[in-house]
Amino acid sequence: GNCLKTNALLIAILVAIFAGLLVGGLIGGLIKVEPNSLAVLLVSLPGEIFLNMLKMLIIPIIMFSLISGIGSIDMKTSGSLGWRTVVYYLSTTISAAILGIILVVS
């Protein structure tokens, strides 16, 4: 009744997932295909582009959220807690950004 109406999208997604697993398992079991280098390149190229785009967005998103968070803090009412919060966020963000850059470059 009402439960099916409110969760119709969830149920449709779960049915589609299981149908995809079933069809993929049947096709994968019936047809054995050895990928060649061109197929691997064509499949891996969009994935590489997507991951590189995500890497480009991480640091700007962190910095903009940090700036937005600092801008919303009222220093007069927060007092020393506000300053400790700002210092904590700045130090963790800067250390995470430096560690991320080191791990990506190396």
Where is pLDDT greater, at 74 or 60?
60
Q: What percent of the chain shows pLDDT beyond 90?
A: 22
Rounded CA-CA distance 104/106 in Å is 6
Rounded CA-CA distance 49/51 in Å is 6
Instruction: Note the pLDDT of residue 99.
Output: 93
Rounded CA-CA distance 49/55 in Å is 10
Instruction: Note the pLDDT of residue 55.
Output: 84
pTM: 0.40
Single-letter amino acid, residue 27:
I
Average pLDDT over residues 101-106: 89
**Residue pLDDT, tens place only, 71-95:** 776 766 666 666 777 788 889 888 9
Rounded CA-CA distance 106/103 in Å is 5
Q: Could you give the C-alpha distances from 72 to 77, 85, 90, in angstroms and in order?
A: 12, 12, 15
**Residue pLDDT, tens place only, 6-43:** 899 999 999 999 999 999 888 877 777 777 888 788 88
Neighbouring C-alpha atoms within 13 Å toward the C-beta of 51: 6
- Please give the structure tokens belonging to residue 106: 């190396």
